[in-house]
């Protein structure tokens, strides 16, 4: 067996390992795409939080300055003014309250499995197969077997 075949087998095994790492590794293309999708989703959530913050700030301004808003909120909690009569209508929904969900947890990023031991095993297997193919091929083409070489030496 030539030493160049050993180098070719080693390079082939290393190439398979690096290709698997590039595609499926923790910093590979698939992990990068997942990270990009998570980033896009996080940006959307952040924009929604900014919108909710602005709406809440507007509501706070209205509750501190607008008399009609203050009166409506007071009625919502059951306060009424003098000489006012409370009428409750059946089959009618009350005034809608805010739709915010305080304390929501942002989406968690999916974890990427560390497959490097598997990739090393596959690369090493490719190396061994590439190394053994010429050995098996030379034995088959010469017609010698291991027992024939033992007989010739004796």
81 and 126 share a domain? no
Q: In the chain, pLDDT over 70 holds for what percent of residues?
A: 78
What secondary structure letter does DSSP report for 28? S
107 and 139 share a domain? no
Q: If pLDDT is split at 50, 70 and 90, which confidence band does 149 have? A: low
Tens of pLDDT, residue by residue over 18-57, are 888 888 888 888 889 999 999 999 899 889 889 988 988 9
Q: Are 117 and 20 in contact (CB under 8 A)?
A: no
Alpha helices in the chain (DSSP H): 3-24, 29-65, 67-76, 116-142, 146-153
89 and 57 share a domain? yes
Tens of pLDDT, residue by residue over 93-116, are 666 666 666 666 777 777 777 777
User: Residue 80: which domain range?
Assistant: 30-113
108 and 34 share a domain? yes
User: Domain count of the chain?
Assistant: 2
134 and 152 share a domain? yes
Retrieve residue 63's tokens.
Answer: 């509750």
Q: If pLDDT is split at 50, 70 and 90, which confidence band does 151 have? A: low
Tens of pLDDT, residue by residue over 62-94, are 889 998 888 888 877 777 778 877 777 777 766
Q: Is the pTM of this model over 0.95?
A: no
């Amino acid at each position: 067996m030539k030493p160049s075949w050993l180098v070719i087998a080693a390079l082939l095994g290393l190439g398979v390992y690096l290709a698997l790492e590039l595609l499926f590794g923790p910093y590979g293309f698939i992990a990068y795409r997942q990270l990009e999708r998570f980033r896009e989703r996080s940006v959307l959530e952040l924009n929604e939080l900014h919108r909710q913050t602005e709406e809440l700030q507007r509501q706070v301004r209205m509750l501190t300055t607008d008399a009609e808003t203050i009166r409506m909120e007071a009625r919502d909690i059951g306060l009424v003014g003098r000489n006012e009569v409370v009428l409750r209508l059946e089959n009618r929904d009350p005034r809608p309250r805010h739709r915010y969900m305080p304390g929501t947890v942002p989406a968690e990023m999916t974890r990427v499995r560390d497959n490097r031991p598997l990739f090393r095993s596959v690369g090493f297997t490719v190396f061994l197969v590439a190394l053994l193919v010429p050995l098996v091929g030379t034995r088959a083409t010469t017609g010698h077997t291991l027992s024939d070489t033992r007989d010739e030496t004796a």
